Structure 1
């Protein structure tokens, strides 16, 4: 039986890393991308291979759309190594946070957010569509900040809201190919996002945990496991929707 293949951007750390491992444990072959953390990406590859899986890591800066044609060629070559011409799952995960009040935000910061969280996923998906199998899945990563406000994260949230809305239109336009397109909106997760403040600052961790119905902040595996489930055939009728994965934050 031909193994499914997932391409996950930003797979070397945080949520992307957990997604890759959870999918690999289900027998999915992983093509992960990293921007600068080559050593971390290679460690992930080794972990997946130690589990009996297959993986390849490719450098990619999702904010640099000029690099996408060459990246797509590399993906095509990598697929050949795995005995395939197309892959099944695209997870647009790579990104970065920004804390900046509206009064202090620079145009450079604005451009960086839009290039990374909107322009990148749009044109990377466009370039990779010929390599995505009919009946495949695309999963975009949004944020709980689209629903829950906190001063300083407005521009980040606005970029994520855009990709969340775009998901619906992608689902409509790709429906003829039976490609399902959904979004996840993680809540507060103990990662290095925002400098790792939720993970490393006990006071912030406790405060945020108090806003979550389940009484704790999320862990990367909470998201990785959810992504593996959403991409499975069991969730094949979900399309054009956003999954809130926050443990019940601010509900």
Structure 2
């Protein structure tokens, strides 16, 4: 096979790649061990190596993504700031804003009771029309209730963290717990993941200057296209 181009893919090219990978997966699943399955598996491997592994990764910029000065200068949300630095075209979809029970891990980090009602915001993030990550955000009712954060899908310049600052909750520092895992079937389908590709699970907690947690977001990031970059000061 000839070498594939390393230029950014157009939306039509991405669609075609996904369709070929899907056909390969269906063929292998329906007739494992057959000659056709072996050919499709070889093609799927080549397509994935050529168009995915060789592409520059979309790097999550750790603490830099939450810079207040950058947000004030550009009006960009953390994800859009990263996309601008990578020369990528971003798109976000807020798919729901509602009250929901706090999952156990979220309740523990927010310091609220498990299943206590919180504001839940679900966002999906795309670069160059390709799904990159999902983010489910949880905020206590006493902070966000009766504000745009509790009801509006679009939050304007600066996004969520600017609105939280307006409510008196600027981020002083944050904690992010990261681990790799296999996606659920629903996550794999929504992120258009090829078979066998894991995700990075990033549990983010925001704290104010009094060490009080006020926001938790669980990000689910494609491990084949995403990467993490943290610069951390060393304590004495």
- How high is the TM-score relative to the length of structure 2? 0.25
Which structure has the bigger radius of gyration? Answer: 2
More strand by share: 2
More helix by share: 1
